[in-house]
Chain A
């Protein structure tokens, strides 16, 4: 254990030396993250919104203490790379019934931030550009930008509360540096027929399978049916072959043999007990799949949707804004 720690430390020292020489001090550098600001620096101060002050907190929570504030939900945030939570409640100085509670979750990278955000996003919300994206539903305002998932909750929907929610959200997101980007994986799934704001990112255990990690999914309209397409980045073609095999075994024996895509792609088509018609495909380091839980779509339609994967180059340029 000690030897192992020494080796890790040596490597970390080398990396750290490189960072210190080449850049100013960073909080946390992530390849897919553009931010370098501590979540606690994003909490508004007194009078950021005129006449509103902090009455509870600020409190900070790390991976070990997160459970104190989010109940049994800590596993969820930890699975998305949770790093730090900053929490405070604000109140109008002349009316103690006007309250707004702010929670800023630092999820370490844009995938983690989007993963948490996308899991709470309903496609029917009225989305706005608060951060990369956000919405207000009654007295709850949710925003996401880069590695940060931001929740602002008012005690009621009075105009003063809503005004404070909006101003705080604007102030916080304006302080987050860098471009407003979506996870890179979002760009490997087809755009055609994709239903807006249905993208979900799962860091692990997609569909309840321990082998399906790092997965993006979205809903598509096919044959007037809503079907789901997913793509898992397995890291390497070898790993993707294994994951493909595990997924095929999990959904059951091939029941549909008339489907074929290109020669390079390995497919498996079966009817899953819960997910309905399902076709999975392995190509390069990815495992793709499409399924229709309501069993309304035709096999051929699912095939056409999935064939977009095999026909398009995989390394399209990243879409900066959606």
Chain B
């Protein structure tokens, strides 16, 4: 029942990294190069052949960029009715007038525990209109926050009705926050979802081996996102090596896992398209493995999640999460003045000055093995005039 890994040292990073060459070979068996510029995988048992990288469209408003992506063989378009109040779908719809056959549309509706079937069907009809199409390949229940949301039968009833009407092909779900494992298991238990989309990357394997086994057993398609695990520019600049770029290495890492059918990436520029397209065509090698390891090392122990888990261990009541956040503002966001102002507002007894003479009660308190005291002392030095 162990998680695949959460930290660099755990089993699967090594396994995946070391076996990348082997998995690449196996991958090619089911990867089909329809065009020389892109590779494709079968999305579960939907019979859809989706590009290994797919287009994420939050904030999207650039028709030219979508046309270029389609020209380069990126055929899976991830969107949602809720993205910018529908304007992302509208921008996609402009291109769909002439390029519908080149695209697999993966859009979403919002279904919280209180949503009714009629709301979902109305949302779907609005999406069809904005997207300039009469058929959506995959409709997903978007952004599931809690497994209990999947108990709302409205989503299944709405999907069945829409499918009978010929408006949709497959049902999917997406989730990203906590409880990903539980949400997926619950989703699988419903035997209704054919596509899953969730956050998954080299730093955070949010889904256990057993869950992936169940996904495979049910032949459900998998699209992952947040493959970059944040983009800590400073660390990337420090450690980027020859070979793939950081973006490319993270995408290739995900694609080296045969459980994953497509990696959803944010594409803002024509250069991004070239970069991700190249990532698909390249192999994940030892240089990239080393790069991601270094990045993970740099980020894993440097990077406070502001979860406050460590705070109860401090007998002084130091406001760890707040202070680490202000330290981040100073170090990474070029907000030195604001960070120091904010720190000045922390009550004196809760500041990190208490750490200077402390033996370190927080030594083992961080679930991510951060050295909390060191970070606090650094913050105290940075944030006090």
Judged by DSSP, the binding face of A is mixed
Would you call B337 an interface residue if the criterion is a C-beta within 8 Å of the partner chain's C-beta atoms?
Answer: yes
A62 within 8 A of B: yes
Determine whether the beta carbon of B270 is less than 8 Å from that of A72: no
**A11 at the B interface (CB under 8 A):** yes
Q: Which 6 pairs show the lowest CB-CB distances between chains A and B?
A: A274-B64, A12-B336, A76-B59, A73-B58, A120-B84, A208-B65
Task: Specify which of B115, B226, B268, B385 is in contact with A155 (CB 8 Å cutoff).
Answer: B115
Q: How far is the CA of A78 from the CA of B345 in the complex (A)?
A: 25
Is B112 at the interface (CB under 8 A from chain A)? yes
Q: Is B56 in contact with chain A by the CB < 8 A criterion?
A: yes
Chain B contacts of A79 at CB under 8 A? Answer: 59, 268
A125 → chain B closest CB, angstroms: 9
Of A13-21, A231-239, A261-269, the one touching chain B: A13-21
CB distance from A143 to the nearest CB of B (A): 12
Contact across chains for A64 and B328 when beta carbons are under 8 A apart: yes
B174 within 8 A of A: yes
- Contacting A67 at CB < 8 Å: which of B59, B226, B345? B226
With A9-B382, A73-B59 given, name 15 new contacts (CB 8 A).
A12-B337, A19-B341, A25-B345, A63-B333, A64-B303, A68-B176, A68-B177, A72-B176, A72-B226, A119-B59, A155-B115, A156-B116, A156-B119, A274-B63, A274-B64
A10-55 residues at the B interface, CB under 8 angstroms: 11-13, 15-17, 19, 25-29
| Contacts known (A71-B174, A205-B269); A122 close to B85, Cβ less than 8 A | yes
Nearest chain A CB to B341 CB, angstrom units: 6
- Nearest CB of chain B from residue A201's CB, rounded to whole Å: 12
Residue total for A at the interface (Cβ-Cβ under 8 A) = 53
Q: Is B246's CB within 8 Å of the partner chain A?
A: no
Query: Looking across the interface, which residue of chain B has its beta carbon closest to that of A291?
Result: B64
Instruction: Closest A residue to B85 by CB, please name it.
Output: A120
**Are A16 and B337 in contact, CB atoms less than 8 angstroms apart?**
yes
Give complex CA distance A248, B170 in Å.
Answer: 44
7 CB contacts below 8 A, A to B, read A13-B385, A29-B338, A64-B328, A68-B177, A204-B268, A207-B62, A293-B64
Closest to A200 in B: B61
Chain B nearest CB from A113 CB (Å) reads: 14
A137: CB under 8 A from chain B?
yes
Instruction: Indicate if B117 sits at the interface (CB-CB under 8 A).
Output: no
Using A13-B385, A200-B61 as known contacts, say yes or no to A72 and B264 having CB atoms under 8 A apart.
yes
Asked whether, in the complex, the Cβ of B64 is within 8 Å of the Cβ of A208, the reply is yes
Residue of A nearest to B130 (CB): A122
Contact B266 A72 (CB under 8 A): yes
Indicate if B21 sits at the interface (CB-CB under 8 A). Answer: no
A69 CB-CB contact with B under 8 Å:
yes
**Cβ of A49 to closest chain B Cβ, rounded Å:** 18
Q: Are A71 and B176 in contact (CB under 8 A)?
A: yes
A301 interface contact, C-beta 8 A: no
Q: Which residues of A contact B328 (CB under 8 A)?
A: 63-64
Q: Are A15 and B337 in contact (CB under 8 A)?
A: yes
B374 sits at the interface (CB 8 A): no
CB distance from B250 to the nearest CB of A (A): 13
In the complex the two chains form, is B338's CB within 8 Å of A208's CB?
no
A-B contact count (CB 8 A): 130
Contact of A28 among B90, B226, B338 (CB under 8 A): B338
User: Is B68 positioned at the interface, with any CB of A under 8 Å from its CB?
Assistant: yes
B333 touches A274 (CB 8 A): no
CB-based contact A67/B176 at 8 Å: yes
Determine whether the beta carbon of B305 is less than 8 Å from that of A72.
no
Is the CB–CB distance between B65 and A64 below 8 Å? no
Contact (Cβ within 8 A) A71 B268 = no
Q: Mark B362-375, 1 if CB is under 8 A from A, else 0.
A: 00000000000000
Chain A residue numbers with a CB within 8 Å of B306 are: 62, 64-65
B319 at the interface (CB under 8 A from A): no
Smallest CB gap from A274: residue in B = B64
- On whether the beta carbons of B336 and A208 are closer than 8 Å, the reply is no
Q: How far does the alpha carbon of A204 sit from the alpha carbon of B62 in the complex, in Å?
A: 13
Interface readout for B301-343 with A: 1 if CB under 8 Å, 0 if not?
0010110000000000000000001001011010111111100
**B67 in contact (CB, < 8 A):** yes
A209 in contact with B270 (CB, 8 Å): yes
Residues of B within 8 Å of A122, CB to CB, are 85-87, 90
- Given known contacts A9-B336, A65-B306, A72-B58, is B114 in contact with A208 (CB within 8 Å)? no
Interface pair A208/B61, CB less than 8 Å apart? no
Question: Can you list, as one digit per residue, whether each of B84-126 has a CB less than 8 Å from chain A (1) or not (0)?
Answer: 1111001000000000000000000000101110010000000
Q: Which of A75, A99, A119 contacts B87 (CB 8 A)?
A: A119
A25 and B341 within 8 A (CB):
yes
Determine the chain B residues whose CB is within 8 A of the CB of A26 once the complex forms: 341
- Measured CA separation A142–B178 after assembly (Å): 27
A81 closest partner in B (C-beta) = B333
Q: Is A275 close to B, CB under 8 A?
A: yes
Partner of A71, one of B143, B338, B345: B143
Within 8 A of B (CB), among A89-128: 97, 99, 119-122
CB distance from A203 to the nearest CB of B (A): 10
**With an 8 A cutoff between CB atoms, is A185 at the interface?**
no
Beta-carbon contact of A120 and B385 below 8 Å? no
- A140 at the B interface (CB under 8 A): yes
Given that A12-B337, A63-B333, A97-B114 are contacting pairs, would A208 and B84 also be in contact in the complex, using a CB cutoff of 8 Å?
no
Instruction: Kindly supply a per-residue 1/0 record for chain B positions 247-281, scoring 1 wherever the CB is within 8 Å of any chain A CB and 0 otherwise.
Output: 00000000000000000101011110000000000
* A209 contact set on B, CB distance < 8 A: 269-270
